């Protein structure tokens, strides 16, 4: 299997990952967490776990996700707060019918919400 490497500032190290990964979700998709009561819009995707070891070890072992799957950066919201979340693919479900996300940073990255998903600002695409 072909491999690639990328530097993760969050992890503070170079990450080894498969050259091709099948992500179930895309940037702009609205998702919700499978176990916890929050939802969000995806603004970045890591092909494998690329956060710090302290972050990974803080997840209780009985629910800790595997490292070798896509991890998604979300502008997340719950009933009482907005924040950035980092979630494994196995813990996300589609929530396109839930409407737009009210996170205050959404409009810095996305220009519109149409047909259940966000469209990235043209200036941020290549």
**Angle, vertex CA 34, rays to CA 31 and CA 35, nearest 5:** 135
Cβ-defined contacts of 108-111 (< 8 Å, 24+): 109/43, 109/75, 110/28, 110/41, 110/43
The two three-digit tokens of residue 76, written as one number: 């997340």
Residues ≥6 apart with Cβ < 8 Å to 108: none
pLDDT in tens, 44-65: 999 999 999 999 999 999 999 9
Q: Which domains can be identified in the chain, with CATH numbers?
A: 3-124 (2.30.30.390)
Give residue 111's pLDDT band: very low, low, confident or very high (50, 70, 90).
very high
pLDDT at 126: 56
Decide if pLDDT at 10 tops 80: no
* pTM of the predicted structure, to 2 decimals: 0.87
Res 8 pLDDT > 90:
no
In DSSP terms, which residues pair with 14 in a beta bridge? Answer: 7
For 5, the enclosing helix (H) or strand (E) is strand 3-8
Mean of the per-residue pLDDT values of the chain = 90
What does the pLDDT read at residue 1? 65
**What is the pLDDT, as a whole number, of residue 30?**
97
Q: Is the pLDDT of residue 19 over 80?
A: no
Burial of 111 (0-12, 13-18, 19+ CB in 10 A): middle
The rounded percent of the chain whose pLDDT value lies above 70 is: 96
The torsion angles phi and psi of 54, rounded to 5 degrees, stand at -65, -40
């Amino acid at each position: 299997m072909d491999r690639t490497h990328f530097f993760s500032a969050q992890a503070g190290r170079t990450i080894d990952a498969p050259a091709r990964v099948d992500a179930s979700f895309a940037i702009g998709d609205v998702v919700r967490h499978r176990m916890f009561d929050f939802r969000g819009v995806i603004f970045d995707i890591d092909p494998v776990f690329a956060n710090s070891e302290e972050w990974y070890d803080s997840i209780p072992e009985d629910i800790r996700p595997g490292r070798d799957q896509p991890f998604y950066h979300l502008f997340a919201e719950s009933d009482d707060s907005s924040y950035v979340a980092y979630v494994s693919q196995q813990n996300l479900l589609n929530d396109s019918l839930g409407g737009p996300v009210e996170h205050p940073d959404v409009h810095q990255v996305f220009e519109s919400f149409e047909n259940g998903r966000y469209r990235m600002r043209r200036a941020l695409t290549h």
